[in-house]
Structure 1
Amino acid sequence: MTGTPFSEAKPTLSYFTWAFIVTALGLLLGAWLGWLSTGTIGGMLAVFFICAVLAVLEISLSFDNAIVNANKLKDMRPEWQRAFLTWGILIAVFGMRIVFPLLIVVIAAGIGPWQAVVLASTQPAEYSRIMHDAHLPIAAFGGAFLMMVGLTYFFDAEKDVHWVHWLEERVSRTATIRGVEVGVVLIFILIFAKLLPGAESTAFTTSAIYGLLTFLVVEFIGGLLDQSQQTLSAAAKGGVGAFLYLEVLDASFSFDGVIGAFALTDNLFVIAIGLGIGAMYVRSMTIMLVERGTLQQYRYLEHGAFYAILILSVIMFCQTITHIPEVITGLGGAALIGVSLWSSIRWNRREADPAA
């Protein structure tokens, strides 16, 4: 594939070398933390198991994230691809899995960053309570942002490949109406705001509007930055703006996993290990998808990912009203991507042998 920093296609397992290394180190570190905190073999194995489950949870929730990342990365210049896959993953692992939960506690509890670290270390139950109390605005913000991501893909007048043809073709035609996707998101916000009591309704609406505005601001800034780069070089593609977009997108995908992780453990450091392992697999899957040109080979794979994003956004809104197990979110998204992959394979076979 031209224009990428990657080498020729290689064995599938080789893409996951670093992910396997991080998995081994992370699970060993988790076991060590379990031994330090409990002093028993049972406690050590329990923490080891929780780290493994969190990693699987993160991977299951992030199939669509990897596909969307690859969709954007394939058009980026090599230096920006490398930047996202190095600095971007550091931000994803350390920023979203460690700094983000601490920042929530800093803001919600009105304490300093160091006090938040101490609270996470010495009073994990209180730390967990603060995180759960902040769930509503986080879910509203992330849900609105991800809904815009999903709708923008389908509300595209130039989109000519349709998976659910009868639906996507009609949606694509309505994309000529200016701001139609914003209107759809606002309708969802109004519906869910009506279902929540007074103070919660206000918090939900405010946070969701911020999520919507964040998407629009990132798109606007990204367009300006990339346009200025294109002025300098006609070959410039997907620079600062695309990098910024991917980082905010990664953050939005992380909300659900970070909050859901507290259902398994109150220990911030165990959560960081488990979700960090999962994030490395997302990076590996992204590299494999871009290098092998998988999105070009399987024409409906992107569709499945963006449908999964739309469902995830609605689930995040629903979670402001009632708890929905993360396993449903993860399996639902994985199932959609699996069906889209199967549909792509069938289409490829028909093209190769029209008589089949």
Structure 2
Amino acid sequence: MLLKTFGWSFAVTAAGLALAGVLWGWQGLAVVAILSVLEISLSFDNAVINAGILRKMNPFWQKMFLTLGILIAVFGMRLVFPVVIVAITAKLGPIEAVKVAVQDHDRYEQLVTSAHPAIAAFGGMFLLMIFLDFVFEDRDIKWLAWLEKPLARLGKLDTLSIVVSLVALLIAATTVATSVPVHGGSGTVDKTATVLLAGVGGLVTYLIVGGISGFFEDRLEDEEEDGEENEENGAALPQKSGASVVGLAGKAAFFMFLYLEVIDASFSFDGVIGAFAITNDIFAMALGLGIGAMYIRSLTVFLVRKGTLDDYVYLEHGAHYAIGALAVILLITIKYEINEVVTGLIGVVLIGLAFFSSVLRNRRESGTGNGSETKAEVATGV
């Protein structure tokens, strides 16, 4: 099971480190290895979130996530995306942007870092919406009941997550974005308009991609419920003007796949920016972060196949709280620098606490022999 799931990750790691050693020697090999660990630590919560979505998809789309998805993650987000950002922000042509990335590493670093406020605002708003929609939803299983119960009551207001996100964006735009330090120089620059535009873009992207995937998912669930009712009544499921369960599932899975890729993109922003603290070589960066992305993909599939999220029910809660923390950190880093170690540790600690709470819950339930919560669980929310 382990080798089957992580086999490609092990193979890519061996090939990637060998290539790094040939191209850049022992120093390059060390840089690529460090970047791989950085990506895994920063995106561990991403694997848990992805697993919660991926388990709803059929084996075909799970394979697409590991094949086409990894190509998008490695070559798209870690190699092509930073160059596109450079081309847009510096108003360069595609060929010139590629030349800067390959030949002028210092200027490439400066241009990508200068685009960080827009990247952080876009990714921060997208991740914040994921977090808010999670905590504002009334769930049967609650981790921090003292916090999640009142938030679920507030969540009955349908647009509350959008309102809270827009308020957070306005606060960020009128505080940290008004005086962003100039990279590699002295003084500050006002990025208010840039942050507002990028933040609204992240919000709109979430509403479009998440809304469409949610729509088709609800349609699919309704179709399955109708089918179960008809089977119980001994009747055949009526077909609707060319729409079938297979076709509907395909649409739902397709938009969920897009949703997964946007989530991965939002998580990759801080990794790409943080990688410049280690190297400004675009190829070493893509190689190291790509190896890390492979492990996140494999870990996602491992969690799905092992049913880990069903066994440890608070893991999704911990991952979503980590997402909320990352969203806030991204908005803060518009002006202030926060070490990537801090960002990674916050996610690991929250997921670790959620895992420990899940273990305690499972022990309590196995001890009582039923699924009812004990007084201690009610009091602590565990």
State the one-letter code of the partner of 1:264.
I
Taking structure 1 as reference, are residues 171 and 227 closer, same or farther at Cα in structure 2, changes over 3 Å only? Answer: closer
Which residue of structure 2 lines up, in the alignment, with residue 207 of structure 1?
198
Q: Does 1:75 align with 2:82?
A: no
How far residue 84 of structure 1 moved from its aligned partner, in angstroms, is 1.8
Deviation string for 1:107-134 (max 9, x for gaps)?
1222222222221221100011000100
Please point out which of 14, 26, 40 is paired with 1:24. 14
Uncovered stretches (5+) of structure 1, i.e. residues with no partner: 1-9, 35-43
Tell me by how many angstroms 1:175 deviates.
1.6
Deviations 1:246-290 (A, max 9, x none): 111111111110111111111000000000000010011011000
SS in structure 1 at match of 2:67: helix
Q: Decide whether aligned partners of structure 1 residues 86 and 310 sit closer, same or farther in structure 2, where only a CA change above 3 A counts.
A: same
Aligned-partner Cα distance in 2 for 1:15–1:59: 16
Cα displacement (A) at 1:16: 1.6
| Mapped pair 1:253 → 2:260 | no
C-alpha spacing 1:176/1:228, structure 2 compared with 1 (3 Å): closer
Q: How many residues align?
A: 336
Aligned to 2:32: 51
TM-score (normalizing by structure 1): 0.90
Q: Distance in 1 between matches of 2:312 and 2:216?
A: 31
TM-score, normalised on structure 2? 0.84
Q: Shift of residue 61 of structure 1?
A: 0.9
- Residue identity in the other structure for 1:20: F
Please provide the CA RMSD for this pair. Answer: 1.8
Measure, in 2, the Cα distance between the counterparts of 1:31 and 1:326.
Answer: 25
Q: For 1:91 and 1:49, locate their aligned partners in 2 and report how far apart those are by CA, in whole Å.
A: 25
Secondary structure (helix, strand or coil) at the match of 1:62 reads helix
Distance, in Å, in 2 between the alignment partners of 1:13 and 1:222 is 32
Which has the higher Rg, Structure 1 or Structure 2? 2
Distance in 1, matches of 2:91 and 2:161, equals: 36
SS of the residue corresponding to residue 303 of structure 1 reads: helix
Query: Residues 163-195 of structure 1, C-alpha deviation per residue, up to 9 Å, x if partnerless?
Result: 011101111122211211111111111211221
Report how far residue 224 of structure 1 moved. 5.0
Asked if the contact 1:225–1:240 (Cα under 8 Å) also holds between the matched residues in 2, the reply is: no
Q: How does 1:139-154 map to 2 (within 5 A)?
A: 139-154=120-135
The residue identity in structure 2 corresponding to 1:124 is H
User: Percent identity of the aligned residues?
Assistant: 47
Distance 2:144 2:211 in 1: 30
Structure 2 match to 1:187: 167
Q: Report which stretch shifted further, 103-112 or 196-205.
A: 196-205
Q: What's 1:278 paired with? A: 292
Within the alignment, does 1:268 sit opposite 2:259 as a pair? no
Q: Contact between 2:66 and 2:298, CA under 8 Å: does it hold in 1?
A: no
